Chains A and B, each alone.
Chain A
Amino acid sequence: MARKTALPAEVTIDARGFHYRELNEEIRRAAGRGARTIKVVNVNGQRYIGAGLGPGVRLLLHGTPGNDLGAFMDGAEIEVFGNAQDGAGNTMNAGKIVIHGQAGQIAGLSMRGGRLYIRGSVGYRSGIHMKGYEDQVPVVVIGGRAGAFLAEYMAGGRLYVLGLEDPPCPGRIPGNGPFRLPPRSRSLTGIYTGTGMHGGVVYIRGEVPPHLLGKEVAVSEPGPEDQRVMEEDLSDFASCFGLDPRTILGAPFVKIAPQSHRPYGRFYAY
């Protein structure tokens, strides 16, 4: 084994042509040799970047990281200059992921701690199975719109949907003719919002029509304690993207939370 020379605090890796395994090894090696900020350029589709990575490292990813970005991450920081794919923040335990773009399906799946900030919109099932306990509270902030099944089975943590911009529109919308299928939902969230939720809280910057809500949740107005955490979380979010927190906080929010901790008790015959 060659003698490990310490690396400068900032290094750059060109990911072009790298298989994810090689790339992630390279990243871990660089971190092990003292790099504190690792810039990775030409990222395209490599999976598991930052998987299991502990604190003390910052990854700046330019391009489109592949699925399971930051899976099981344990304290590192990732900033993505581009869109992320599916599974960003999968079962993340600690750390921070900031995405200057959209994310795909199941963003924040099973997150247990840390922060996931997405500037744009996300796909389905964002925040599914998020969990929290005492001080360990994951926070997910979605700047755009979320798809269906938001916060499904959520058990802890905080999740925000801000609707700061219109979701991208494909242009020639099929069915401008007489047989147009009405869009699923024009709302900030899709159908079955909060279905199966039994802990944690969701804050939506706008209205959520009742028919989109799962049966386990109820909508209410955020109280003073909510306002406090919202300010903290959203100021942090705003600072990551150069946004004005007052614009974000200035609009009315609704709070979505579970109605009961054991809604299925009466379903069984013994």
Chain B
Amino acid sequence: MYGATGSEGFSEERIPGGCAIFGVMEERGRRFSGSLAAEAIAAMRERSNGLGGGFAGYGIYPDFPHAYALHVMSLSHGAHEDLVRGIKGSFRVLHEEPIPVRHHPAIRDAPVLWRYFVLPPGEGEEDEEEYVARRVVELNSRVEGSLIFSSGPNMGVFKGVGYPEDIAEFYRLDEYRGYLWTAHGRFPTNTPGWWGGAHPFGFLYWSVVHNGEISSFDTNRRYLETFGYRCFQMTDTEVVVYLFDLLHRRHGLPLEIISGILAPPFWSEIEAMEEEERELWMMARQVYGPALLNGPFSVIVGHPRFMVGLADRIMLRPLVAARKGEMVYISSEEAAIRAVEPAPELVWTPEGGEPVVAELLPQAEEEEAVA
């Protein structure tokens, strides 16, 4: 069973909202400060209403490159202790510490924030990633008032209630260096007090920032439940991250096919294709119909090796991309890109359903291996 379940502050009601999203990746894996993403998302302040902001950074924990960095937020010390007991019972903890924060006048009522660098105990046949996924979900379901909101190796999600640039300030993101950053500013239609409801939504090494509302949410949720994922009604973003996990990690599909499943071409377009392509896309849609994400959306998905931006099949949410050298930018608005890169070499608008992909170059992975 995957998926976070209830905690205080969660309700049965889905909170729709509008948002701003931004992502940037350096394809050689060269790391840069988190303040770049903060500056970019700040340029889109109009799209948020201060009720949620967050970031995901990859490559930020070079001292623990293979350990899973569990970020924990808790509403009370009691709940926190409970959860930590569970963590220590399930993992080998290499290092633990409070997440460093800085006081910010606009960020109030912060929960307890800690991080644990852990590894699975080492015995057992289960795939390491499966093990971590299951344990994290189990712990999140069992303990009320405390949540593991990030659980990937050498990456981390930082989020809360507030404007994203203020959240960045609060979490001291200027002190981190990563090669991939995504950012999100939220405009929810009611007032969640719970920091866990902000974006990005993280699961294993995945992170998703999302602008829009998924009309097919319940269809997608029920579909994912048949594969063991458990969704939780407060944010529809969950289905996006689980769908990526299912299609990429478990079904081994490449990103082009995943995009063509989540935002598929129309039947009339498929019929107009060449025979081989037509059969492939026909089969993909016939198998994965319930995975179709309907409704307006633009998402940016983070993964240790790539960043993907995708808008819905009739592009009801804006998405702009830009490139300068090995830096690839994806954003809801061009101004956010220009705020941090005034002279990109190339600026373009992808089609609805056409993914924008930035990938770690092979030599970057080699360098990592050597290091």
A and B are interacting partners: yes
Give A residues with C-beta under 8 Å from B. Answer: 20, 44-45, 47, 63-64, 66-67, 83, 85-86, 102, 104-105, 121, 123-124, 147-149, 167-172, 174-175, 177, 179-185, 190-191, 211
Cβ-defined partner of B354 (8 Å) among A123, A169, A183: A183
Q: List residues of B (320-371) whose CB comes within 8 Å of A's CBs.
A: 320-321, 323, 333-336, 338-339, 346-357, 359
B275 at the interface (CB under 8 A from A): no
* Residue from the set B260, B323, B334 with the largest chain A CB neighbour count within 10 Å: B334
Asked whether A45 lies within 8 Å of B315 as measured between CB atoms, the reply is no
Asked whether B347 lies within 8 Å of A105 as measured between CB atoms, the reply is no
Cβ-defined partner of A170 (8 Å) among B257, B323, B334: B323
Residues of B with C-beta under 8 A to A105: 315, 318, 349
Residues of B with C-beta under 8 A to A20: 46
Residues of B with C-beta under 8 A to A123: 315, 318, 349
Asked whether B268 lies within 8 Å of A63 as measured between CB atoms, the reply is no
* Residue from the set B257, B338, B353 with the largest chain A CB neighbour count within 10 Å: B338
B314 at the interface (CB under 8 A from A): yes
A130 to chain B, nearest CB (A): 19
Cα of A44 to Cα of B313 in the assembled complex, Å: 29
Asked whether A181 lies within 8 Å of B259 as measured between CB atoms, the reply is yes
**Number of inter-chain CB pairs below 8 Å:** 109
A-B residue pairs in contact (CB < 8 Å), sample of 29: A44-B338, A45-B43, A45-B44, A63-B338, A64-B334, A66-B46, A66-B335, A67-B333, A83-B334, A83-B347, A85-B335, A123-B315, A124-B315, A148-B315, A168-B348, A169-B348, A170-B321, A170-B346, A170-B348, A174-B256, A175-B256, A181-B259, A181-B354, A182-B273, A183-B351, A184-B269, A184-B351, A184-B353, A211-B268
Asked whether A85 lies within 8 Å of B333 as measured between CB atoms, the reply is yes
Cβ-defined partner of A44 (8 Å) among B314, B339, B359: B339
B93 at the interface (CB under 8 A from A): no
Asked whether A45 lies within 8 Å of B333 as measured between CB atoms, the reply is yes
Do A85 and B334 contact each other (CB < 8 Å), given the known contacts A123-B315, A182-B277? yes
Do A171 and B257 contact each other (CB < 8 Å), given the known contacts A179-B280, A184-B351? no
B287 at the interface (CB under 8 A from A): no
Residues of A with C-beta under 8 A to B23: none
Do A190 and B44 contact each other (CB < 8 Å), given the known contacts A63-B338, A104-B334, A174-B255? no
Do A64 and B338 contact each other (CB < 8 Å), given the known contacts A102-B347, A170-B356, A211-B272? yes
* Residue from the set A20, A44, A45, A180 with the largest chain B CB neighbour count within 10 Å: A45
Asked whether A47 lies within 8 Å of B46 as measured between CB atoms, the reply is yes
Find the A residue at minimum CB distance from B308. Answer: A174
Instruction: Name the prevailing secondary structure of the B interface residues.
Output: mixed
Asked whether B256 lies within 8 Å of A180 as measured between CB atoms, the reply is yes
For chain B, the bracket of interface size reads 35 or more
Cα of A123 to Cα of B349 in the assembled complex, Å: 7
Asked whether A167 lies within 8 Å of B318 as measured between CB atoms, the reply is no
Asked whether B333 lies within 8 Å of A66 as measured between CB atoms, the reply is yes
Cα of A210 to Cα of B277 in the assembled complex, Å: 21
Asked whether B269 lies within 8 Å of A191 as measured between CB atoms, the reply is yes
B158 to chain A, nearest CB (A): 24
Instruction: Name the prevailing secondary structure of the A interface residues.
Output: loop
B70 to chain A, nearest CB (A): 32
B271 to chain A, nearest CB (A): 10
B297 to chain A, nearest CB (A): 14
Residues of A with C-beta under 8 A to B269: 184, 191
A143 to chain B, nearest CB (A): 15
Residues of A with C-beta under 8 A to B321: 170
Give B residues with C-beta under 8 Å from A. Answer: 43-44, 46, 254-257, 259-260, 265-266, 268-269, 272-274, 277, 280-281, 314-315, 318, 320-321, 323, 333-336, 338-339, 346-357, 359
Asked whether A184 lies within 8 Å of B265 as measured between CB atoms, the reply is yes
Do A148 and B314 contact each other (CB < 8 Å), given the known contacts A102-B347, A184-B351, A184-B354? yes
Asked whether B43 lies within 8 Å of A168 as measured between CB atoms, the reply is no
| Contacts beyond the supplied A179-B254, A179-B256, A182-B274: 13 A-B pairs with Cβ under 8 Å | A45-B335, A45-B338, A64-B334, A66-B333, A85-B334, A123-B315, A123-B349, A124-B314, A147-B315, A147-B351, A169-B346, A180-B256, A184-B354
A20 to chain B, nearest CB (A): 8
Residues of B with C-beta under 8 A to A148: 314-315, 351-352
Closest 5 CB pairs of A and B: A45-B335, A175-B256, A174-B357, A168-B348, A123-B349
Find the A residue at minimum CB distance from B264. Answer: A181
Do A174 and B334 contact each other (CB < 8 Å), given the known contacts A167-B348, A181-B256? no
* Residue from the set A123, A174, A211 with the largest chain B CB neighbour count within 10 Å: A174
Find the B residue at minimum CB distance from A102. Answer: B347
Residues of A with C-beta under 8 A to B339: 44-45
B273 to chain A, nearest CB (A): 6
B248 to chain A, nearest CB (A): 13
Cα of A191 to Cα of B270 in the assembled complex, Å: 13
B331 to chain A, nearest CB (A): 10
Asked whether B323 lies within 8 Å of A181 as measured between CB atoms, the reply is no
